[in-house]
Structure 1
């Protein structure tokens, strides 16, 4: 006998999962578990069960069973505050997925280098951090190099600004509340109020700039993908070469690369649906 928390939907089923219709033939418990992990990530990585109940629409007993199962596998961990945080086993999955995304995007980054000469990067938002998943080195002998897999805070990078600017303001603030606003240079933004003002500029312009905020003498410009993947593309180089004229030329090319990546993702999703 199946109860209201059934794991597998029958063909054609349309039971609600977190307020959204379940897809035909899918495993409802898996959909719900993924919904909870995404809700935790959206909230900055650490949440209470009551927050999950409010954001997912699921009853607390169901959430408790799912979270307990995820905790048992290391994908969620309970903190001393009784809140739950994303667990360490997700790091391995994220790193592997990130590398695959980087391989898939490499040709677009190469096109940016051919057009602009400077190093091109692809970065993802993972929890409260930015992780670089691909880079195509620039053509110049003196060029910027970002290690693939490197994780940084979003407050001091163009890709971080571009990604957070795409979010609702409250969601961005929640992520930034877990950020320590470490000062890397004299140009680093070190307060939430100042960063809020910076994000408004990014939303208005449609792109973000790092003015030597992560490393002195380095300038970077980035555009976020307008799709489900929390990613941004950027170019970076020495301030002496990254002139305003180059940035003006780079922004439409970055936007075209971002749009092309979103289109490719949509075609892949359609092919596997």
Structure 2
């Protein structure tokens, strides 16, 4: 049994390799190519090429029209997934660079489907992120990320959010009521940092900057211990200047 299994493995791997070569060949032709040409370009026997092309077509990786093979939806999803992963990796690398350069935790969040969603956090043991001791989604009025995201919503969406997640005390420093929160948001100039001090976590100050892609809202944020508050504004101003270098990737992440 072991001998049969060992003999079968190279055959299966070889089939995958040949199928991938065919996919690459098809992808190199914008208008597609017929089986005979693809077999020739991949140096495969025509019967083998036909068999693999039929299988790839059946699985949705290829499409066949009038004898010409083109990439199918499944293959395009693979390409799109790789592109998305590359962009996410770029965002994570940038966040790690900013974290190490400024020496503060970095947060990236979006407002999607009526909810606050923290997409990524980059911190270190020496500079840890704020513990989510109260659900970020339900306490958007109390932290800089949530306030920054709420400031970007239209009036209807903002009121809807506060109807679902009412303003309530989280710490002694939390904004006192809905009216006070709305006045603060209205008084924040567009694209300016939004700063909160101990409203979500005692002993912590935070700042967030808006990132907008069309009608979608996003935010980058930092946090610091209260005794290092003098570093907050210079750090967030530096971050705001750096975000433009990966703004396209950030906007893409907000929109998906």
Unaligned runs of 5+ in 1: 1-98, 269-273
**What is the match of residue 245 of structure 2?**
260
Give the count of matched residue pairs.
166
- How far, CA to CA, are the matches of 2:151 and 2:247 in structure 1? 17
- How far, CA to CA, are the matches of 1:169 and 1:211 in structure 2? 25
2:189 counterpart of 1:203: yes
Q: Which has the larger radius of gyration?
A: 2
Query: What root-mean-square deviation, in Å, do the aligned CA atoms of Structure 1 and Structure 2 show?
Result: 3.0
**Structure 1 pair 265–110 and aligned structure 2 pair: CA distance change class (3 A):** closer
**What is the match of residue 166 of structure 1?**
152
More helix by share: 2
- Superposed displacement of residue 258, structure 1: 3.6
State the SS of the aligned residue for 1:156.
coil
Unaligned runs of 5+ in 2: 1-83
**Structure 1 pair 158–183 and aligned structure 2 pair: CA distance change class (3 A):** same
Q: TM-score, normalised by structure 1?
A: 0.52
State the SS of the aligned residue for 2:91.
helix
**Structure 1 pair 114–204 and aligned structure 2 pair: CA distance change class (3 A):** same
- How far, CA to CA, are the matches of 1:267 and 1:176 in structure 2? 27
Q: TM-score, normalised by structure 2?
A: 0.56
Q: CA-to-partner distance for each residue in 1:12-42, whole Å, 9 max, x for gaps?
A: xxxxxxxxxxxxxxxxxxxxxxxxxxxxxxx
2:216 counterpart of 1:216: no
**Structure 1 pair 185–145 and aligned structure 2 pair: CA distance change class (3 A):** closer
**What is the match of residue 100 of structure 2?**
114
CA contact (8 A) 1:183 1:189 kept: yes
